[in-house]
Every structure is written in structure tokens, then in C-alpha cells.
Amino acid sequence: MATVLLILGVLASSGAFALPAARQLSASCNLTEARLQVPANQTQLIAPTVAPAFVALGLGVQNYTCNATSSTYVLTGAVAELFDSSCLYGTPVFDTAPALAYTAWDATTGLVTPQDVIAALSIVPLPVVLGQHYYVPNPAGSGLSPKWDFTSSGGTYGNTAAYAVGAKIGDLPSPDTKLNIDSLMVKVVEGNLASEIFRVQNNGGQPPASCTSASQNVSVKYTAQYWFFGGSITPNSIVI
């Protein structure tokens, strides 16, 4: 529990789950003025010029298995919890929260899970968990596809259409490719949560450079910022 509280303490001290006094009317704050910023001089990530529907801090693991033929790890999915970051927009910690969370998350033992962090967050008087991120069978054929599921958490609880299954259309490597996973632009192929999803501000998640056995599986901790655009989902009104 001490390691879980370490993550909670870092996030709380950074303001990651603290609402400014003027914004304490709902669990999710207004994102009308929010705009996604992407690196210049690249064509992989094309930022929408409109406001997002949701912005989330993702905390979880990237899962890999060893391809013994190439002696490299291959992605087999991810599992993460998604925390509402909307009330951070316009504050100094908006862009630093993923890195702060990763520092604490990376320092925990392997026995701590994102669900443990959620349990510790029960002391926060807000539904800060927007949803979950995991992989499902590709609806268009073979392989797996990423899914963002907001059906059982936060302001979209109970809305069976509040999910998105995506297909990658843009991939921008991190400046530190040995440590951090890529930034992504994803089009939504199923679900009403969004029409486009971006993964940016990535920390961690990269597997070891090589492996030797097909039975080797690893889960690598990561954090990231997720932006959700479009869709037709409106969060329930939650008054505090």
C-alpha cells in the first residue's frame, strides 16, 4: 500500500487530481478552449483544430511476447486505467502530470497494479476514473485492436455506446526510443466514444532490446496522455 500511496501522493501534490476552486461544480471540467499540440515538421500526427471531448492520463502496462526467430519482443496489447485530466488543462501541471505519474509508477514493485492505484484513489471525492484501455480481437479480421472503454466508470457509467475500438493511422517515435513508446494517431472503427484518439506525452512502455525464448513475456509500465475527439457521448451531469 505504501507504493500505491506514493503514486497518489505525487499526483496529488502536482495537482493532478485537484480541482481549482473555480472548477468545483462537476467532476469533468470544460475543455472548450483545449487544443492538442503536436510536433512541427512531421505528417504522422495531424492535430484537430477543434476541442476534444475527453483528455485522460493513462497509467498501465504495455504487454509483449518474445519472437524467438527475430530475438525481439512483439506487442501483444496493453492494460491501463484512464484518469480524467480535463481539470488540469490551463494549469502548469497539465503537460508534466504524465511524467510525474510515471516516476512514481516506475518506482513501485511489480505487485502493484493500476487497480491498486484506483483503490487508493477512493479517498478522492470525485469519479476521476474515466475508463479502461485494453485490446480486443480486431473487428475487421485477424489480430488485436486497441479499445478504450468508458462504459463502467465516471460520467459515462452505464452508457453501452461509450467505447471506441481503433486502428492506427499515424505513428511518431519518441526522441528516446529505448525508453518511451511512440505517439499515435488512431481512427475509431467501432463505438461512439470518439472518432479520433491521440496518444501523446508518453513515458516508458518500451520492452528490452532483445530476447531469447518464445516463452518470454514482459509487462512494461507506462503513462501517457490520451485525447479523444468527436464521438457522440455526453457525460452525465455530476454535481459535487
| Residue pLDDT, tens place only, 113-152 | 776 766 665 545 455 889 999 999 999 888 999 999 999 9
Q: Which of 139, 159, 135 is nearest to 148 (CA)?
A: 135
Q: Which of 48, 35, 37 is nearest to 230 (CA)?
A: 48
Q: Which pLDDT score is estimated for 235?
A: 75
Residue 240 has pLDDT above 50, yes or no: no
pLDDT digits (tens, 9 = 90+) for 149-175: 999 988 899 999 999 999 999 999 999
Residue 63 has pLDDT above 70, yes or no: yes
The three grid cell numbers given for residue 204, joined into one nine-digit string: 516508458
Q: Is 5 helix (H, G, I), strand (E, B) or coil?
A: helix
Residue 222 has pLDDT above 70, yes or no: yes
- Average pLDDT of span 226-236: 90
Residue 1 has pLDDT above 90, yes or no: no
The Cα–Cα gap between 233 and 150 comes to: 10
Please state the pTM of the whole predicted model: 0.88
